[in-house]
Amino acid sequence: MIKNVHGNTVDHLGEAIVAGRYAAGTSLPPEPMLCQELGVSRTVVREAVKSLIAKGLITTGPKVGTRVLSEDHWNWFDPDVIIWQSKAGLTPDFLRDLQDLRRVVEPAALRLAAVRATDQDIAEVERAFTGMKRAVEEGGDYVTFDLLFHQGLLRASRNRMLVQMSKALGALLRTSFEISTRRKNGPLISLPMHREVLDAVIAHDPDRAEKAIQKLIDGARNDIEEVLSSRRRLPKLSQPPPLLKIA
Q: What percent of the chain has pLDDT over 70?
A: 98
Number of domains in the chain: 2
Q: Are residues 217 and 96 in the same domain?
A: yes
User: What is the rounded distance in angstroms from the CA atom of residue 20 to the CA atom of residue 88?
Assistant: 9
| Residue 242 covered by a domain | no
* Over residues 184-213, mean pLDDT: 95
Report the chain's mean pLDDT, rounded to a whole number: 90
Q: Are residues 125 and 69 in the same domain?
A: no
pLDDT value of residue 2 = 52
Q: Are residues 106 and 212 in the same domain?
A: yes
Q: Are residues 94 and 67 in the same domain?
A: no
pLDDT value of residue 55 = 97
The whole domain housing 60 covers 5-73
Q: Are residues 93 and 65 in the same domain?
A: no
Q: Are residues 102 and 217 in the same domain?
A: yes
Q: Which of 22, 39, 73 is the last residue of a domain?
A: 73
pLDDT value of residue 130 = 98
Q: Are residues 66 and 95 in the same domain?
A: no
Q: Are residues 119 and 209 in the same domain?
A: yes
| Residue 121 covered by a domain | yes
| Residue 81 covered by a domain | no
| Residue 55 covered by a domain | yes
Evaluate if residue 182 carries a pLDDT over 80.
Answer: no
Q: Are residues 107 and 30 in the same domain?
A: no
DSSP class per residue in 165-215: HHHHHHHHHHHHHHHHHHSTTHHHHHHHHHHHHHHHHHTT-HHHHHHHHHH
pLDDT value of residue 204 = 97
| Residue 84 covered by a domain | no
| Residue 200 covered by a domain | yes
Q: Are residues 218 and 108 in the same domain?
A: yes
Nearest to 219 by CA among 176, 188, 181: 176
| Residue 243 covered by a domain | no
Q: Are residues 161 and 215 in the same domain?
A: yes
Q: Which of 22, 40, 73 is the last residue of a domain?
A: 73
* Over residues 171-195, mean pLDDT: 84
Half-sphere exposure (Cβ direction) of 73: Cα atoms closer than 13 Å: 15
Q: Are residues 177 and 61 in the same domain?
A: no
Query: Do residues 209 and 193 make contact, with C-beta atoms less than 8 angstroms apart?
Result: no
pLDDT (tens digit per residue) in 110-128 = 999 999 999 999 999 999 9
pLDDT (tens digit per residue) in 81-112 = 988 888 888 788 888 888 898 899 999 999 99
Nearest-10 crossing angle of helices 206-230, 92-116: 170
Query: Given pLDDT bands bounded at 50, 70 and 90, which one contains residue 247?
Result: low
CATH number for the domain spanning 177: value is 1.20.120.530
Q: Which pTM value belongs to this model?
A: 0.80
pLDDT (tens digit per residue) in 17-52 = 999 999 999 999 999 999 999 999 999 999 999 999
Q: Which of 13, 46, 73 is the last residue of a domain?
A: 73
| Residue 118 covered by a domain | yes
User: What is the rounded distance in angstroms from the CA atom of residue 113 to the CA atom of residue 153?
Assistant: 7
